[in-house]
Amino acid sequence: MENRFINNHRNGAYLPGLIWTLIRTDFKTRYHGTLGGYLWALVKPLFMFAVLYTVFSVIFSMDPNYNLNLLIGLFLWDFFSEATKTGFLSLQAKTFLLTKTNFPAWIVVLTSASNALITMSILGLAVCAYISIFRRSLSLLEISCFGLYIFIFLIIIIGISLAGSVLFLRYRDINQIWELLMQAGFFFTPIVYPLDIVPHKFHFYLYAWLPTAVIQFSRSVLVKGEIPTITAHLMLLGSASVVLFAGVALYCRLALRSLERL
């Protein structure tokens, strides 16, 4: 298989097959040998939802949409947290592959988010189905907007993962620092509490942390049926593009020397 990829590299036809192979391999190996299999990927966000809903439902019992907002916030946050964590470790985890085959290392980083994306997609479809059946009928525009937010979130994740993957090879403490940021970021993001309880003058700082914008836009479209303004969409897309550009630039600058450490 290695020789086939190397030979295909000469005519540029190997990339789609390589990407699919990496995604399929990660998907199979992650849950190989477990009794629950892929169900474990769904248990984590659902268990967190059950615990947090039990704890906070009394506090925010006046909000009839609290449970749905909590679920949307949790599975989107879990996607962001899991995908970036895997992205940081992706190059190190695939050392055996990168040292034996000849292909761009960024593909490993790009495909590292596949498992988290699959899990998030399943939960997202389930939530959309629940809303359409038991709440209100979602329009094609609302579903398309939600899909756009997921795509923008993926852009943000790729940018962070590209930068983090090469930094981790040089500074191993980066992974620990990022985990601390994720713990703080969970409570900084309005997931378990409504954004409305935060004074409006602080909303700018919350939205500067991009997961807040993605989660709030998704809730607005799915739960309230309200589509944010074009300006808001352009600001979110522009911010995501900046993160991606910064991640690509840092990766290109550090990749060669960082990969020599493998």
The tens digit of pLDDT for each residue in 59-115 reads 776 778 888 999 999 999 999 999 999 999 999 888 877 777 777 888 889 988 888
Please work out, in degrees rounded to the nearest 5, the angle formed at the alpha carbon of residue 109 by the alpha carbons of 104 and 110: 90
Residue at token pair 């005519």: 11
pLDDT tens-digit readout, 203-216? 999 999 999 999 99
Q: Is the pLDDT of residue 188 over 90?
A: yes
The beta-carbon contacts of 122-130 under 8 Å, at least 24 apart in sequence, are 122/42, 123/42, 123/45, 123/75, 124/75, 124/150, 127/68, 127/71, 127/72, 127/75, 127/222, 128/222
pLDDT tens-digit readout, 106-132? 888 998 888 889 888 988 999 999 999
Q: Is the CA virtual torsion 217, 211, 38, 89 positive or negative?
A: positive
Question: How many domains, the chain?
Answer: 1
Please say whether the beta carbons of 209 and 188 come within 8 A.
Answer: yes
Cα–Cα distance for residue pair 191/215, rounded to 1 Å: 8
Please say whether the beta carbons of 194 and 119 come within 8 A.
Answer: no
Amino acid in position 110:
L
Q: Which two structure tokens, joined as six digits, stand for 102?
A: 């000849």
Q: Is the pLDDT of residue 148 over 70?
A: yes
The confidence score (pLDDT) of residue 6 equals 40
Least confident of 38-42, 44-48, 230-234: 38-42
Domain assignment of residue 11, given as a range: 2-259
pTM for the structure as a whole: 0.84
- The predicted model gives 14-22 an average pLDDT of 70
Closest Cα to residue 86, out of 108, 53, 57, 119? Answer: 108
Contacts of 222 (CB under 8 A, 6+ apart): 68, 72, 127, 128, 131, 138, 142, 146
Share of the chain above pLDDT 70, in %: 85
Share of the chain above pLDDT 90, in %: 51
Please work out, in degrees rounded to the nearest 5, the angle formed at the alpha carbon of residue 137 by the alpha carbons of 135 and 197: 50
Cα–Cα distance for residue pair 43/177, rounded to 1 Å: 26
Q: Which two structure tokens, joined as six digits, stand for 1?
A: 């298989």
Per DSSP, helices labelled H in 102-209 are 106-111, 114-130, 140-170, 173-188, 203-208
Please say whether the beta carbons of 238 and 156 come within 8 A.
Answer: no
- The winner for highest mean pLDDT among 15-19, 169-173, 242-246 is 242-246
